[in-house]
Amino acid sequence: MSAGLQIGESFVGAGAHAAHINTVFGDREGPAGVAWATALATPSAGHVPFVAVLRPSLPVKPLTLFVTKSAPDGDEHGLLIWGPAQAGVAAGVADALADGVITPEQADSHVVIAAVWVNPAATDADEIYRNNRTATRTALENGAQRFPATADVIAAREAPSNPFYTPEV
C-alpha cells in the first residue's frame, strides 16, 4: 500500500442505478483530515456531509464522510441516499479494511471522504446498495494502487467516452 493522500474513482452498474464514487483517503493529521473536518463543518444547501455508519451508532472505520454529488430530489431520492447508498459506502469501506486495502493501523489514524452520486431516477434500493458497496471498495483500491496508469490515460486521450457521451471521432 502506498503512503500519502490517495484519490480513487470507480463507476459500477448501469443506468439510473449506477454508482459513481470518488474517494479521498489519508491521514487525519494531513490534508485529508483537514478536508474531512472542513466539509463536515461547512454543509451547503442540499449537500450535508455526514459520517457513514454500518448501523446507528456504529460508524465505519476509518471514519468516512459521505458527501452527496446530487442534492436530494425529493423524499424518495433522499431516502435512497441516506439508506442504501450510505449502507453501501460503509460496507465498501469495511470491505477494504477486511481485505487489507486499508490496514488495521490506518483504521484509527486515517479518514475517508466519499463523494457519491445517486441518480434521482433510481428506484431499486438493493441495486443501489450493491453498486455503491462495490464502487467504494474499488475506488479505495484504485487510490491505493495509484490507478490508472499514466500510459493508459495517454492512450485513451483520443477517444474519451463515458456512459453519458461518446464523441464522434
Residues designated as active site: 20
- Alpha helices for the chain (secondary structure H): 31-41, 75-80, 86-98, 106-109, 125-144, 150-156
**Residues 6 or more apart in contact with residue 72 via CB below 8 angstroms:** 46, 78, 81
Taking the CA atoms of 17, 22, 27 and 29 in sequence, report the sign of the dihedral they define.
negative
Looking up cell 479505495 gives 140
Q: What distances in angstroms separate CA 153 from CA 24, 142, 158, one per listed residue?
A: 20, 14, 10
| 90 touches 53 (CB < 8 A) | yes
